[in-house]
Amino acid sequence: MDENGPQTPEETLDAEIKSFFDSAPPLRNIENISESLKNFIEINSSPAGSRSARKVVCVTSGGTTVPLEQRCVRYIDNFSSGHRGAASTEYFLKAGYSVIFLYRTKTCQPYCSLLPDDPFLECFEFTCDSGIQVRQSYSEAVKSAISEHHAAVADGTLLKLPFTTIFEYLQMLHLIGTSLRSLGPHALFYLAAAVSDFYVPWESMAEHKIQSGSGPLDMRLAQVPKMLSVLRSEWAPTAYCISFKLETDVKILLEKADAALRKYKMHMVIANELSTRKEEVTLVTENEKIHVRRDPKLVGDEVENHIVKHIVEKHSTYINVFDH
């Protein structure tokens, strides 16, 4: 108990967040990341011929790892292929948004969905004079992926930032949040990453590889501070924020999504059940629940296309209400 009385829940959370960031290993290349974000925001703040800022979305994608050693050999992984984040990024770009793609290293990338998992080995072949060319069967997919990706990067509408650990992810999300604050309601957060709920504090982590000869491993994990509320209240208080709720039990899914909406003051929570997440989701807001599903009769149709269409509409309404 504090000498001035017990701490409020907000004070406790602030202390936990401060402790997490203070003890986290320094973010590598933080100067380069900060400079990239600064340039990206400048490019997208005042488009030529427009008085209003371009709409910018931060899409988080893939899962975070929890290192068990400082010189990491073993880790706990929140697995996610990153398909939802990568596909959604493409649809946001098509809708006129600029995208900060905060993604787990080696997960799905925008514009690569039609390429095989190992594109360099599968897509290319030797020519008669020992040169290299794209196989005919993949030529259109490779051409499209390269041209659309390069165009987005060259136009300054796509910034890709990789992470691996929970420490890197939350430090980078903090940087992005405070950077996008200047865009006000034109900023959007689409938090599709699978973020670890538990972690090993850096200062209590073994420095070297844990030896199996020491017997069974007994390790106590700390809870990762819930930073969605501070994203809403401090980092980017006027941005439109969307989080995800994944469950394996459909009977509790909407209840849990409703609870997350209220607890973290999200504008929307996207509820998805593990086995059907690629087919259908429910968009949960304060006033309604919108069931969204892909059209199985339409070749190539993805549920992310329909998700983004609804979000673009909701975000535009939010901006208009905010401005007036």
Residue with the two structure tokens 């390429």: 115
Residue 180 vs residue 3, higher pLDDT: 180
Residue 184 vs residue 54, higher pLDDT: 184
Write down the pLDDT at residue 1: 45
Residue 214 vs residue 95, higher pLDDT: 95
Judged against a pLDDT cut of 90, whether residue 51 lies above it is answered with no
Instruction: Give the length of the chain.
Output: 324
Residues 147, 191, 303, 41, CA torsion sign: negative
User: Are residues 223 and 201 in contact, defined by beta-carbon separation less than 8 angstroms?
Assistant: no
Cβ contacts of 33 within 8 Å, gap of 6 or more:
27, 161, 172, 175
Write down the pLDDT at residue 302: 95
Tokens of 135: 């196989």
Task: Quickly count: other Cβ atoms within 10 Å of residue 219's Cβ.
Answer: 11
- Please state, in angstroms and rounded to a whole number, the distance separating the CA atoms of residues 55 and 322: 14
Amino acid at 141: A
70-75, long-range: CB < 8 A, 24+ apart: 70/25, 70/202, 70/205, 70/206, 70/207, 70/208, 71/207, 71/208, 71/209, 73/209, 73/210, 74/209, 74/210, 75/165
What is the DSSP secondary-structure string of 250-279? HHHHHHHHHHHHHHHT-SEEEEEEGGGTTT
User: Are residues 60 and 192 in contact, defined by beta-carbon separation less than 8 angstroms?
Assistant: yes
Tell me the pLDDT band of 220, cut-offs 50, 70 and 90: confident
Judged against a pLDDT cut of 50, whether residue 48 lies above it is answered with no
Judged against a pLDDT cut of 50, whether residue 49 lies above it is answered with no
Write down the pLDDT at residue 319: 95
Average pLDDT, the chain: 91
Judged against a pLDDT cut of 60, whether residue 231 lies above it is answered with yes
Residue 80's closest CA among 181, 163, 17, 183?
163
Query: Looking at domain 27-111+158-323, does it have CATH number 3.40.50.10300?
Result: yes
Residues 102, 108, 303, 153, CA torsion sign: positive
Tell me the pLDDT band of 211, cut-offs 50, 70 and 90: confident
- Please state, in angstroms and rounded to a whole number, the distance separating the CA atoms of residues 179 and 196: 24
Residue 6 vs residue 27, higher pLDDT: 27
Cβ contacts of 133 within 8 Å, gap of 6 or more:
124, 125, 126, 127
Partners of 103 in beta bridges? 61, 162
Pairing of strands 187-191, 124-126: unpaired
Dihedral, CA of residue 172, residue 263, residue 15 and residue 225, to nearest 10: -50
- Full-model pTM: 0.92
